[in-house]
Each structure stands twice: as C-alpha cells, then as structure tokens.
Structure 1
Amino acid sequence: MFAGFNLKVGEEISSYKEFGDQIYIAKKKQVEQELESFINSDGSIEGTKMQSNWFPQIEADIFISHSHNDEEKAICLAGWLKATFNLDAFIDSYVWGSADALLKKIDNKYCKNQGDSTYNYDKRNYSTSHVHTMLTTALAKMIDNTECIMFLNTPETICTSDIINQTKSPWIYLEIAMSQLVRRTEPNRSLGIVKKAMFEASEQLTINYNIDMQHLKDINLRHLEEWKEIHQENNLKFLLSGYDKIHPLDSLYTEHGFIKGTVKA
C-alpha cells in the first residue's frame, strides 16, 4: 500500500450504481468460486491454502473499506473509479457474505448438537475463530497488495457521539489498523513528474472501537471532481511534453502531497 484516504461522499455518484453492480457481481462470483476450491471432499478446509489464496486472483488498484449499510455507496464508488479512470477497486464486502456462507456450511455439518437444530457453543466458537483468522489474513494481504485504501466515512461507519472516530464494526477497525501496519510500497512505475516524470442475535451486542485515521488524507466529492479535472490537465501536459500519459493515482497522490512534483500548473 502506498497511500490512504478518508472519503466523505453522499449520493452524488449514485448514477454509477448499475455499472458498479456489474463489477461487483463478477468479482464476488470469483471469490465464491475460489472458496469452493478450498473445501476437500471429506468436508475439511485447506486453511493454509485459503489464507494464502482467498482472493489474490482479483487485481485491484484501490481497497474500499466500508460499513455493511454503505455497500451500495461502495459499489457506486467502484463504478465511478472504473468509468472515470479505468481503476479497479476491491470492495471488502465481496468476502463478508462469502465468509458467512462458508461458516454456515461448516457449522451445519460439524457444529450442530446431536438430534437438535441448535449449535454447540464451543464448536461454533472454534469454527468462527478459524474462518475469521483466515479472512483477517486474506484482507491484510489484499490491503498490502493494493496501491491505496479509500475509507468510506459516513454516519453508518463512524459513531456520531462525543467520542471522535469510533466504530462498532470489528472489520473496519481491523482494516484501518492494518492500513497503518502494512508496508509503504512505492508503485512499480515512475510516480508522476517526480521520476520523470455484524452480529445478529436476540439482543444486540455492541462493541465500540477507537480508530486512528491520522494516516488517511481527508477527501470529499469536491476532491474527486478536482482529481478528474487535474488528471485531464496532467495528461495534456505530459502528452505535449512528449511523455506517456500519467497514471490517474499519481495525479491524486501529487494533489494531496503523497508525492512531490510539478505536475500542477
């Protein structure tokens, strides 16, 4: 990962929902197909293989972290990124539903009390800890492999209370914390001009996590629109100077100070 952004955006990109849906359905199907390959004929799970290969086949430039209730907004953002810059986004909810489906399959086979429709508490905890450990490892590798992370910061994600930057989602907490810990890796290309340049139960369990977002650059819809305009200007400058087109993420990085250069006029 090279850079991170704390994005606040409303419904302004909702027109990209249909295009985003096409991308979402195709990539989620990839994840589900991959999951099936980790289940052996005897019903056991290839844990090591799953941790290493849950979704490396999905090539993505940007990791989108979002609340379950903001899934539609994340899909619209992925559609906008693809339509505007031909950038591929990985939406973390590709795997949430798939992980739950995998857990359900395991629990129905191994964790039910004999002669009953209820689940054994200890067996259920054991299966959940394994699947969540595998998912955590896979998400960390995906964050590490993508070039930047965009955190969809909405009231659905961040608690509107006296405590600043607090979330009830363990997965959001994990992803933002992991984005601080993974390697800072410069993209394998010349950067701009610089170098030439979810819990459901009868009673709701609520756990709050403080999240540190100091490493994420604040952006909103205006910044997205400026990014598009600046990138078009940068490409024109580069072409007039005899260089190839600049990568769209390099325009974003330069605009927000992640790389230093003279791309802007």
Structure 2
Amino acid sequence: MFKGYKLGAISFRWNYKDLIALGSEQFDSYGKKVKSSLDSFLLVDGSLDASKIIDTWFPGIDAHVFISHSHQDNDDVLALAGWLKKHFGINSFIDSCIWGYGKDLIKQLDDKYNEIEPNLYSYPEVINSATHVSMMLSSALNVMIDKTECLIFYRTPNSIQPFGSNNTTHSPWIYSEIAFSSTVRLNKPPRVQLLEEKTKMLHEQKDHLEKAQVLRYTVNDKHLKKLDVETLQNWRLSHVKTSGPLKALDTLYELTFPLKDDRPRILG
C-alpha cells in the first residue's frame, strides 16, 4: 500500500445503475475464481491443504485500489468501483469479494466434518472451523492491502458509529483492515520513486545555484552600445534582405556607430 483515504457517503447523480453494473462485473469476475469443492483440497492423509484453500477461495487479485466498506453500502461501493473503472481504468478490489465467501467455506467444512446428524453439529468443532476460516480470510485481506497501491475506506454511518468520545464499528473486518493499513509497509510505486529522484536532483541543482550566488562580480558595461526597439526597427527597415548577414551587421554598425566625417566644411 502506498496511500490510504477515507471517503464519506457520496451520491451518484447519473447512471447509478450503470455504474453498479460496471462495478459488479469486476466483483463477479472475482467470484468465479472461488467456491471450489473441499474434495479438491484433500491430502493423502485425509486432511485439507489449507494453503491451497486460501489460494482458491481467497485469491490474490490484480487491482489498483482496495475498498473497505460495510456490507450495507454494497451498492454505493459497486458504483464507486464502476466510476473508477469508467473514468480512469482503475481496477478495484472490494473486500466483500472474499469475506463474503467465508460463511460458505465454513458451511462446507461443517457439513463435511462437523455434522453429528442432519442439522446437528459439534459446537467445539464448528468454532474451530470458523476460527480457521477467519484466520485464512484475515491473512488474504492483509495480503491484498499490502499488494494494492491505494486503500479507500468508504466511511459512512453504516461502517463507523460514534460511541462516547470514540468512533467505533460493529464489523471485525473493517476494524482489522483499518488497523492493518496503519501498520503496513509503505510501498512506493517505481514511477513515484523515479519522480522523487528527479525532483531531488532538481532541488540539489537549485541549491547548488543558490549557494553559488553568494559571490558577486562588478560589471562595467559602459563600452557596450545600448540597443532599443526603435533602433532595431530602423535596422530592419534599412537592411536589404538579399545583401546577406555580413552586410546586415554592417548596416547595424552604421546605424549605431556612424562614421565621423572630419573633412573641413566650407561655408558659402
């Protein structure tokens, strides 16, 4: 992650449904990668390959922006993802893309391993499977926050509620995501690093020039002839274009340094 933002509730004045549809395309494309049967993760000893489950159910997805939100704001967040895609080509990762599947995975685990009889489950084992899935999910979300360049927290009354002097949330996922975003490593994109290097170089050059300007030299330019706009205009009008550059300079000299005529003058 490089930058993080919190965004208050927003209203989309036009094409709200179209933006939701565009955002849903990204959401649905992620969903197609998950929900594999647990049988595909069985190891030879009858246990499950947890790492493979994480990679399949909670896959790493190439995205520019991670959007953290309350499930109650799902339509707004889908519209936001659609707006980012429509205007900037930005791909968004919506956190519910993966935590929404946590319950489905827990149900599969319970049905396969923890059901004592139809609709009756072992409570300790149910808690155990839920703990495992929550750890998998938390790990996958942290990887995505670290991987994406920008995090946007859609901060609405559905996600944050004041309680006394504090801001609180009922969502363990929002709490976990925002807490992790405050400690995750700062990962500068290569283009930002290059820009900073160029900017630093320019500042160093400027500092060098400013330091060099502490010295002063006295300049005597009295020997130089003053040119003005009127002289330049006269030069342009007096010069014959076909005469060439050297003749042009001669014309300038004649205008600015007229030859002295020392011949005796005859009065008559």
TM-score w.r.t. the length of structure 2 is: 0.65
Partner of 1:179: 181
Identity of aligned residues (%): 38
How far apart are residue 67 of structure 1 and its match? 0.6
Residue identity opposite 1:126 in structure 2? N
Q: Residues 163 and 50 from structure 1, CA distance in 2 versus in 1: closer, same or farther, beyond 3 angstroms?
A: farther
- Structure 1 portions without partners, runs of 5+: 198-265
Number of equivalent positions: 195
Partner of 1:119: 121
Partner of 2:27: 24
Partner of 2:139: 137
- Structure 2 portions without partners, runs of 5+: 200-268
Residue identity opposite 2:97 in structure 1? Y
Partner of 1:221: none
Q: Deviations over 1:85-119 (max 9, x none)?
A: 11111001011222211110110111122x34222
Partner of 1:100: 103
Partner of 2:168: 166
Partner of 1:248: none
Q: How does 1:1-265 map to 2 (within 5 A)?
A: 1-12=1-12, 14-15=16-17, 16-32=19-35, 39-40=41-42, 44-51=47-54, 55-113=58-116, 115-190=117-192, 194-196=196-198
Deviates more, 1:172-181 or 1:36-45: 36-45
2:115 match: secondary structure: coil
More helix by share: 2
TM-score w.r.t. the length of structure 1 is: 0.66
TM-align CA RMSD: 2.5
The one of the two structures with greater contact order (alpha-carbon pairs below 8 A, sep at least 6) is 1
How far apart are residue 190 of structure 1 and its match? 3.6
Q: Distance in 1 between matches of 2:175 and 2:160?
A: 10
Partner of 1:245: none
Q: Residues 37 and 111 from structure 1, CA distance in 2 versus in 1: closer, same or farther, beyond 3 angstroms?
A: closer
- Larger CA Rg, structure 1 vs 2: 2
How far apart are residue 30 of structure 1 and its match? 2.1
Residue identity opposite 1:181 in structure 2? T
Q: Distance in 2 between matches of 1:44 and 1:77?
A: 41
Q: Distance in 1 between matches of 2:190 and 2:171?
A: 33
Q: Distance in 2 between matches of 1:89 and 1:170?
A: 21
Q: Residues 111 and 62 from structure 1, CA distance in 2 versus in 1: closer, same or farther, beyond 3 angstroms?
A: same
